[in-house]
Amino acid sequence: MATNLTKPQVQPDVNVPGYEEDDRPSPGQRIFNDYFGWLEQIAGMMLLTGKAVVATFTPPYSWKEEFVEEAFLILRRCLIPMIISTVAFGFGAPGLQASNLTQIFGTIDREGAFFVMASIREFAGWINGMVIAGVAGTAICADLGARKVREELDAMAVLGLDPVRQIVTPRFLALGIITPLMNILALTFGVMGGWVAAVVVWGETSAGYIATFTSNFTFPDLFGAVFKTTGFGFIIAVACCYKGLNVKGGAQGVGRAVNQAVVISFAGIWIFNYLFTAILLAAYPETGNLH
């Protein structure tokens, strides 16, 4: 007599606590969601930028005191890390390494001209932006995220206060103004680090370093450095404020928003730096020539 050994099909009991159906999206759905998620974030950042600009130029100007406080706070937090980073870079990569290369080819006297391209035009502003994004930007994002989690922003709206005008606008302006001002210091300390490497370590004359530096340093280079780092500051402000204002998920969500804000800020700085430098060299081709 044959026996049926087939196991009966057991249906999952959806009423059991902890049971969840597998509702994970397919790879195609994830790509679709990620694509439109990025578009939504970009649109949100553009909208936040517009609101901050409108709040800047329309009364009441209730953001002024917060702007001054935030500007000094950014300066205090970022000054020492920026100085250390730019001096270390100026002394290291374009200083020691480039001086070694120019020494081999017998052109050590051109080290000052090289620093116009390496420090003024490119890396000093870039390092300055990285430091401000990593120090001040993360602090701003975490602060706004904590306020969001504690429902302080909702309380402000209930009281008739605009969170964009009261909180976002002063940070937006502070980063946009302090970043280019700190870049002037970054240029100075970076060039000083290169001078130490070229003159003290590799034996170039101080007069030769200064002469080749000043003969190649032009107004478009200075204007470009200031304008570019101003853009860096606004990019950092928009990314960090937007992520902070849209935190979800409590303390874990705040940490996730800070990480995302840093990544967006870094990527925005790299893209803007590349595009702006390409436009600057196309508009002023003489800046690409060494004298």
pLDDT score recorded for residue 19: 44
Local structure of residue 150 (DSSP, 8 states): T
DSSP 1-33: -----PPPPPPP-TTSTT-----PPPHHHHHHH
Residue 1: predicted pLDDT: 46
Contact 210, 112 (CB under 8 A): yes
Q: In sequence order, which ranges of the chain are alpha helices (DSSP H)?
A: 27-57, 64-91, 98-104, 111-115, 124-132, 138-149, 152-158, 163, 169-195, 206-216, 219-245, 250-283
Instruction: Determine how many CB atoms are found less than 10 A away from the CB of residue 211.
Output: 15
Neighbours of 158 (CB within 10 A): 9
- Rounded to whole angstroms, the Cα distance separating 198 from 206 reads 9
By three-state DSSP, how is residue 131 classified? Answer: helix
DSSP 204-235: --HHHHHHHHHHH--HHHHHHHHHHHHHHHHH
Sign of CA dihedral 274, 276, 279, 281: negative
Question: Within 10 A of 175 (CB to CB), how many other CB atoms are there?
Answer: 27
10 Å CB burial of residue 192 (0-12, 13-18, 19+) is middle
pLDDT in tens, the chain (291 residues): 455 555 555 555 545 555 444 455 555 555 555 666 778 888 889 999 999 999 889 888 888 888 999 999 999 999 999 999 888 887 877 777 777 777 777 777 777 777 777 788 888 888 999 999 999 999 999 999 998 888 888 888 888 888 889 899 999 999 999 999 999 998 888 888 888 888 888 777 888 888 888 888 888 888 888 999 999 999 999 999 999 999 888 888 899 999 999 999 999 999 999 999 889 888 888 776 666
d(CA 47, CA 195): 45
The pLDDT of residue 286 is 77
Residues in the chain: 291
Q: For residues 36 and 44, what is the distance between their CA atoms, to the nearest angstrom?
A: 12
Helix (H, G, I), strand (E, B) or coil at 289: coil
CB 173 within 8 A of CB 114: no
Q: What is the pLDDT of residue 109?
A: 72
Instruction: Name the average pLDDT for the chain.
Output: 83
